[in-house]
Structure 1
Amino acid sequence: MKRINLQTYRIVVLAFAAICLAPTASMQAQERSASQLATSPAVAAMQQAASEGKYLFVYFWKQNDEQTQSMRGVFNQATGQMADVAQAISVQISDSTNAAIVKQFGVSRAPMPLALAIAPNGAVTQGLPIKFSEQQLREAIVSPATATCMKAMQDRKLVLLCVKHQGDVNAFPGAHELTRDERFAASTQIVNIDPNDASEKTFLQSLKIDLSTNKGVMIVLSPPGNPVATFTEDATKDQIVERLTAASSSCCPGGQCGPGGQCGPDGQCEPGQQCCPGGNCAPATK
């Protein structure tokens, strides 16, 4: 699986961190931060694009050097051809009027220029620093289910991707029971896909799902986009929990975890630890 484009740049991991002040900050400072966010042109553009069901492509830049000008041309050319599904805005990160959006996406120290694609649901579907192509920008437009999965994982949730033809309200009872359990409700999300939906064909093929069968299948995806377990539609909650617990406690050979070996909050484990399924770190085995 392509890891749903989350490996392109680490900025997507920070994309939905709330703009929070320290607990000791004054109420005036909090109100000032909220006011800045509300009046930010980029935030207004995000809200406008979302209200129209469109993507927003943001071009972050700092200095108007040759690289910035070159990539701006690529950015404008690509987004101009996607006007039916996307809007675009340019944001200079050193401009104080853009402070709120720069803080929201954590790009103050990111390599510049940086192109960010934001789906209508708020998911960051692509982050491209320094140099990128028109094709890479076009690939940021993903299917609805892909965007939903990405948003959930960027919110640090496990995705229970349930694939079955519509109409069976009793399918995946274990998944629904799991999300109703107070221990797991806040950290799991069900995403349903009908295999007949042509817009999801590429996504389902990337997961190697047989689209010809009538049997339902559930794939669990963990941040930043790793498939960690597959279940039949009749799997119970206890079976799901048991499998996921085993996956998070048994380490991979060589300390690698799925494509790219992504692990831990910074992409690697501390000394003396190794990477486990799901991106967790654990003491290295002898």
Structure 2
Amino acid sequence: MKTSTLIPMFVLGMCFSLNAQQPGSVSTLQATLDNASQAGKFTFIVFHRDSGAGTRTLYQQTQDGIANHSEKALVTTARVDDPTERAMVEKFGISRAPMPMAVVVAPNGAVTGLFPRAISGEQITAAIVPPTMMRCMKELQDKKLVFVCLTRTDKVEVPQGVQAVQQLPQFKDRISLVGMRLNDPAEARFYQQMQLDPQQVNGPHAVLIAPPGVLVGHFTAESSAPQIAASIHKAGQCCDDPNCKHGHAPQTTRPTTSPR
């Protein structure tokens, strides 16, 4: 089976801290993001250079689209050339992007969507991601290898092979473990994207996702550390060195894992 892109690459290729701001500057946008984070809401930011028809249209599309998600989302605007927002624009990497553009930021700071010039209701719904997916996107944007560890209780069981890989020098600082309950309706969409049938999971089970959003494989209690490490190497995710020979490995087959 081929590896699949779990989350849009253009979103996960970004890595930044939304809390970083230039000393002495006053960012209205940062204050809005902080308030939205405290309220647990997604922020749809309409960046623009002017208040022309294109900007007004995108803003109206966004406002109309989040009407059915008002408990989860809000919309705001910011000028891409506003000096007080310069640090934010640089963090998003959109200073030269086509404008207007809607940037979607989750409550935890993860970017879940970039939409130049137009946005649809379907795109808005897709950008309001499930809770665990939101956490994974944040870790992936920080260049982490994410093991989503599945559980039916509040106790997260991590396969022994995953624990062993986490201790290996080449991976110990690059792995993030994220727990997810198997009986949470809010996560249904993420189950599907991870090619996961919750009813088929018995015992410790982890799904590995690598930057920029590639589903590497499923690993169980029977998966050994060498098997998991080999899968990471095969996916070209063994290190951050762009010249690493594994970084150019073909991502054409899904790693061999133990049957679920």
Look up the match of 1:118. 105
Scaled by the length of structure 2, the TM-score of the pair is 0.81
CA distance in 1, matches of 2:191, 2:86: 39
Partner letter of residue 74 of structure 2? Q
Structure 2 counterparts to residues 5-154 of structure 1, below 5 A: 5-7=7-9, 10=10, 12-16=12-16, 33-36=22-25, 39-154=26-141
Q: 1:242 to 1:274 in 2, by over 3 A?
A: closer
CA distance in 2, matches of 1:151, 1:226: 14
For structure 2, the residue ranges without an aligned partner over 5 or more in a row are 253-260
Look up the match of 1:276. 250
Look up the match of 2:190. 203
CA distance in 2, matches of 1:146, 1:19: 21
Secondary structure of the residue that 2:200 maps to in structure 1? coil
Q: 1:55 to 1:232 in 2, by over 3 A?
A: same
Q: CA deviation at 1:104?
A: 1.8
CA distance in 1, matches of 2:76, 2:129: 19
For structure 1, the residue ranges without an aligned partner over 5 or more in a row are 21-31, 250-263, 279-286
Q: CA deviation at 1:155?
A: 0.7
Q: CA deviation at 1:214?
A: 4.1
Alignment deviations for residues 164-189 of structure 1 (CA, whole Å, 9 cap, x no partner) = 32266654122233334443222111
Between the two proteins, what is the percent identity of the paired residues? 27
Q: CA deviation at 1:277?
A: 2.4
Alignment deviations for residues 100-133 of structure 1 (CA, whole Å, 9 cap, x no partner) = 2112211110111111111111111111112221
Q: 1:59 to 1:168 in 2, by over 3 A?
A: closer
Are 2:7 and 2:212, in contact at CA under 8 Å, matched by a contact in 1? no
Scaled by the length of structure 1, the TM-score of the pair is 0.75
The 10-residue stretch of structure 1 (227-236 or 47-56) with the greater mean CA deviation from structure 2: 227-236
CA distance in 2, matches of 1:159, 1:172: 14
Secondary structure of the residue that 2:179 maps to in structure 1? strand
CA distance in 2, matches of 1:13, 1:54: 23
CA distance in 2, matches of 1:178, 1:126: 32
Q: 1:189 to 1:169 in 2, by over 3 A?
A: closer
Partner letter of residue 95 of structure 1? D
CA distance in 1, matches of 2:5, 2:117: 21
Q: CA deviation at 1:199?
A: 1.0
Secondary structure of the residue that 2:173 maps to in structure 1? helix
Q: Which has the higher contact order (CA 8 A, sep 6+)?
A: 2
Are 1:114 and 1:127, in contact at CA under 8 Å, matched by a contact in 2? yes
RMSD: 2.9
Look up the match of 1:190. 177
Rg (Cα) greater in structure: 1
Partner letter of residue 276 of structure 1? P
Look up the match of 1:257. none
Are 1:156 and 1:223, in contact at CA under 8 Å, matched by a contact in 2? yes
Alignment deviations for residues 60-92 of structure 1 (CA, whole Å, 9 cap, x no partner) = 111223222211111122234432112221001
Look up the match of 2:162. 175
Secondary structure of the residue that 1:145 maps to in structure 2? helix
